[in-house]
Amino acid sequence: MARTGSRSRPRPVRGSDTALLIIDVINDLEFPGGERVLPWALRMVERLGPFARRMRGAGVPVIYVNDNFNHWRSNFRDVYRHCTRAGSRGRVVARALRPQAQDYFILKPKHSAFFATSLVPLLEHLGTKRLLMAGIATNLCVFFSAHDAHMHEYDITVLSDCCCAESDMDHDLALDQLQRFLGVRVCRADEVRSERGPKRGARVPATPRT
Amino acid sequence: MARTGSRSRPRPVRGSDTALLIIDVINDLEFPGGERVLPWALRMVERLGPFARRMRGAGVPVIYVNDNFNHWRSNFRDVYRHCTRAGSRGRVVARALRPQAQDYFILKPKHSAFFATSLVPLLEHLGTKRLLMAGIATNLCVFFSAHDAHMHEYDITVLSDCCCAESDMDHDLALDQLQRFLGVRVCRADEVRSERGPKRGARVPATPRT
Amino acid sequence: MARTGSRSRPRPVRGSDTALLIIDVINDLEFPGGERVLPWALRMVERLGPFARRMRGAGVPVIYVNDNFNHWRSNFRDVYRHCTRAGSRGRVVARALRPQAQDYFILKPKHSAFFATSLVPLLEHLGTKRLLMAGIATNLCVFFSAHDAHMHEYDITVLSDCCCAESDMDHDLALDQLQRFLGVRVCRADEVRSERGPKRGARVPATPRT
Amino acid sequence: MARTGSRSRPRPVRGSDTALLIIDVINDLEFPGGERVLPWALRMVERLGPFARRMRGAGVPVIYVNDNFNHWRSNFRDVYRHCTRAGSRGRVVARALRPQAQDYFILKPKHSAFFATSLVPLLEHLGTKRLLMAGIATNLCVFFSAHDAHMHEYDITVLSDCCCAESDMDHDLALDQLQRFLGVRVCRADEVRSERGPKRGARVPATPRT
């Protein structure tokens, strides 16, 4: 009942029409194969951490979409605490990529960031048209979220060095499929240009330089 | 990526096939007309508080579905804090109906509890077939959630004395429409029987006694 | 598999950002109370028929969203045939409002035009931002479709003389609720102006003249 | 408005809790790479045609979910006519797999059979818990539909010899991913047993014999 009365069409609340989606990085990695993901995740952190900072600086909204770990209680903080508990395999990764105050977070019950979540209304609220996608695992939750983003007709870039999987092969295969079958753009984080737009502040074209 | 591998069909995790949906009671009531809702909300608290306790005792899951107040950050605790801040019109109501540790909560971006939320997967996870519905306001978020529940083909009971609206007339009209047009059951909280079932523990038939 | 490869953001395929939604008028009216709807439906036809023609002439897409009558077979023609069979109570109404070649039609399984249908992708395909809504019944399928349209943040006008219900009271009450609670615009068909826009051809502001 | 009043929970309308989903076989194959799909599709027909007949005989509902080819008009027959027109590359395939009178068909606007369609309500109407999946292309619409079916928690079997893709490699890779990452069952059509159940008539366990 909080918001009654007439509501107009969503208006971008930020200067950027791009958003950075970070998927399932707050993760205890306590699943079969998680031990194989860990070294790749640690390398991912080195790229994704600085990239997310750059995006925040450029006014690009950063949206964490994260497994609810069967909590079903809409408390991201509990999920964060769970994944950074002493002994959690994913503790270092989750702490290094801890969301900042201005970031958004959404808990998802299944693989795709779009399934049974409020991601679409949030993206409409933000005026997002272009998605930069990162996270764990390239061939599962990132892959399936990219697919749903495609059906929703967003312009999609998957950041090859800000995603990881159990193996190089699974990672490469998934990126190859996204490119070949869905026409998704795949590039490294340092290929995403930020430039200051003339009017609305920061603007980040999601196109690789080359 | 948390939960990979084959997943079987949902299995009820509780003995009860009923759930209590409590809508938008964690509310600062700071909207036009909120001052008219308040006295009705205070009366609602007297019925809904004890009823929710009775349901918890009977093993019926209690699910809060609540407006996100434009936070978009999947932190129910922030919403609770916001609505119980000093000076919030809804403070007494929200504190009296504070969720308990075993309860579920889901933040919704729009009127209906079903729109862009994980309510359906949660209900499937819980094995819910019957919904007891309560909250604010009878003629808006409760009404529209009941309608969506109807399209999803749940068995629905709206608890007339555990809902409220700006006026008696709006409240009565909405309940009347739900009964006449959608065949929704409407009864008072004390008309919902709890009985111990023979096998699976608690069972709460959602049918009024009369 | 028909459409693979990269797909760009939807582009309006028509000059108009408005669409006319016509709900459940292809109807046999063979339900309890249908005999009370019929006289109102016949009056509705007199307004909606010419209005739909005016909209077609102005380049506004006309979209029929219609109950599937449990056919589940995605054949609008079968539904049309069923509703215009000899002896069908709704035969005259359905024939008078028969869709034209350029119109769209979508079959829906439940009350709302938005529930489990491809209406949202179609509206995105057409570049629709504003909905003119008409059909049967004001207080059920039109009402609930208007509500879902509101959650999807379309600009909504319900055409009071192009909708009908079992009784005047149900009709008026539903329109009153849409105006008061959701801020939906309600006006007569002749209050919708069509004017030729400067560039893109027809343009139909959904605002009443007064 | 067709179906008002109280509606009870869906009841299986058939004896079987299994359904056969046939995806995008009514297809003109007029897309880049379609010429490479054709020979595989002709082989697929030899297995899928008899298998669908066997399923119909066993009381298993057969559901065609098919691209709308941008028609947006809910007329499967138009799509069928379009794909079987003289000169259509997919004509022989579409004609050989023509839906029968008792089959269901749903038009989809995007890759997944579940996206913006009434497939879920139909499956609930039918009481379906297990899906046998077939069609074109293994690595696109079948693959993404299988993924959505997984998120909806259906029990899934993909029929390896009743699907096809542009190349053997794309086909095998997709099936391998479905097995490894989602735990989907993959088997040949002749590995699906039909047996008569004791009470409800036909029953088709979706498990391979071996």
Does B117 contact chain C (CB < 8 Å)?
Answer: no
* Token pair for D7: 């509606």
Residues 6+ apart with CB under 8 A from C22: C48, C52, C62, C63, C64, C65, C97, C134, C135
Read off the pLDDT band of C69 (50, 70, 90).
confident
Sign of CA dihedral D119, D120, D123, D124: negative
pLDDT in tens, C79-135: 999 999 999 999 999 999 999 999 999 999 999 999 999 999 999 999 999 999 999
CB–CB of A110 and D177 under 8 A? no
What mean pLDDT comes out for the span D76-98?
A: 94
Q: Is-cis flag, bond preceding A137, omega within 30? A: yes
CA distance C166 to C41: 9
Whether the CB-CB separation of C111 and C141 falls below 8 Å is answered with yes
Q: Model confidence at C191, in pLDDT bands (50, 70, 90)? A: very high
pLDDT tens digit sequence for A40-96: 999 999 999 999 999 999 999 999 999 988 877 778 888 999 999 999 999 999 999
What the block records as the tokens of D96 is 């050989």
Distance CA A206, CA A45 (A): 20
* Model confidence pLDDT, tens digit, residues C160-170: 999 999 999 99
With H, G, I as helix, E, B as strand and everything else as coil, classify residue A149: helix
Query: How big is chain D by its Cα radius of gyration, in Å?
Result: 17
Q: Is the separation of the CB atoms in D134 and D159 below 8 Å? A: yes
Which residues, listed in sequence order, are joined to residue A134 by a DSSP beta bridge? Answer: A22
Query: Chain-wide mean pLDDT for chain C?
Result: 87
Burial class (CB in 10 A: 0-12, 13-18, 19+), B150: buried
- Distance, in Å, from the CA atom of C146 to the CA atom of C163, rounded to the nearest integer, reads 12
pLDDT above 80: residue B2: no
pLDDT at C196: 42
pLDDT at D41 over 50: yes
Length of chain D equals 210
Q: Which SS3 state, helix, strand or coil, does residue C157 take?
A: strand
Q: How many CB atoms lie within 10 A of CB A201?
A: 12
Identify the closest residue of chain C to A3 by CA–CA distance: C182
Q: Which chain B residue's Cα is nearest to A102?
A: B73
Q: Do D9 and B181 make contact, defined as CB atoms within 8 angstroms?
A: no
pLDDT given for residue C203 in this prediction: 41
Per DSSP (E only), the strands in A165-210 are 185-187, 195-196, 202-203
Model confidence band, residue B194 (pLDDT cutoffs 50, 70, 90):
low
Q: What is the pTM of this model?
A: 0.88
Structure tokens at B166: 């700006």
> Which residues in chain C are contacts of B68 at CB distance < 8 A?
none
Structure tokens at A166: 């159990």
Say yes or no: A108 contacts chain D, CB-CB below 8 A.
Answer: no
Decide: C45 and C22 in contact? Cβ < 8 Å. Answer: no
Q: DSSP code of B9?
A: P
pLDDT reading at A17 higher than 80: yes
Local confidence band at A194 (pLDDT 50, 70, 90 cut-offs): low
Residues D64 and A35: their CA atoms lie apart, in Å, by 42
In total, the C-beta contacts within 8 angstroms joining chain B to chain C are 26
Which band of pLDDT confidence, cut at 50, 70 and 90, is reported for residue B17? very high
Fold of C18-191: Rossmann fold (3.40.50)
Q: According to the model, what pLDDT value does residue D194 have?
A: 64
Give the pLDDT mean for D35-57: 97
**Which of D72, D77, D117 lies closest to C122 in CB terms?**
D72
D117, two tokens: 């369609």
The mean pLDDT value of chain D amounts to: 87
Q: What does the DSSP 8-state code read for residue D94?
A: H
| Rounded mean pLDDT, A179-183 | 93
**In the prediction, which pLDDT does C194 show?**
64
Is the pLDDT assigned to residue C201 strictly greater than 70? no
Average pLDDT rounded to a whole number, residues B32-51? 97
pLDDT over 80 (residue D192): yes
- Average pLDDT (D155-160) is 98
Buried b (16+ CB within 10 A) or exposed e, C58-75: bbbbbbbbbbbbeebbbb
Asked whether the bond before D137 is cis by omega within 30 degrees of 0, the reply is yes
> Residue C177: pLDDT above 60?
yes
Which residue out of D181, D182, D184 would a mutagenesis test of the A interface target, given it has the greatest number of A Cβ atoms within 10 Å? D181
* Local confidence band at B70 (pLDDT 50, 70, 90 cut-offs): confident
Per-residue confidence (pLDDT) for residue B128, from 0 to 100 = 97
Averaged over D54-77, what is the pLDDT?
90
Match 């605002």 to its residue by tokens. C207
The reply to whether residue C140 touches residue B181, judged by beta carbons under 8 angstroms, is yes
Q: Which residue of B has its CA nearest to D184?
A: B6
Contact yes or no for C77/D75 (Cβ under 8 A): yes
Q: Comparing B50-54, C4-8, C17-21, D100-104, which segment has the lowest mean pLDDT?
A: C4-8
pLDDT bracket for residue A197 (50, 70, 90): very low
Structure-token pair, residue B178: 């739900």
Q: How many angstroms separate the CA atoms of B201 and D159, rounded?
A: 42
* Separation of alpha carbons D161 and D163, rounded Å: 6
pLDDT, chain A, mean: 87
Select the more confidently predicted residue: A178 or C196.
A178
Residue spans of beta strands (DSSP E) within chain B: 18-23, 62-67, 104-108, 130-136, 155-164, 185-187, 195-196, 202-203
- Residue D37 has φ and ψ, to the nearest 5°, of -70, -35
Per-residue model confidence as pLDDT tens digits over B97-140: 999 999 999 999 999 999 999 999 999 999 999 999 999 999 99
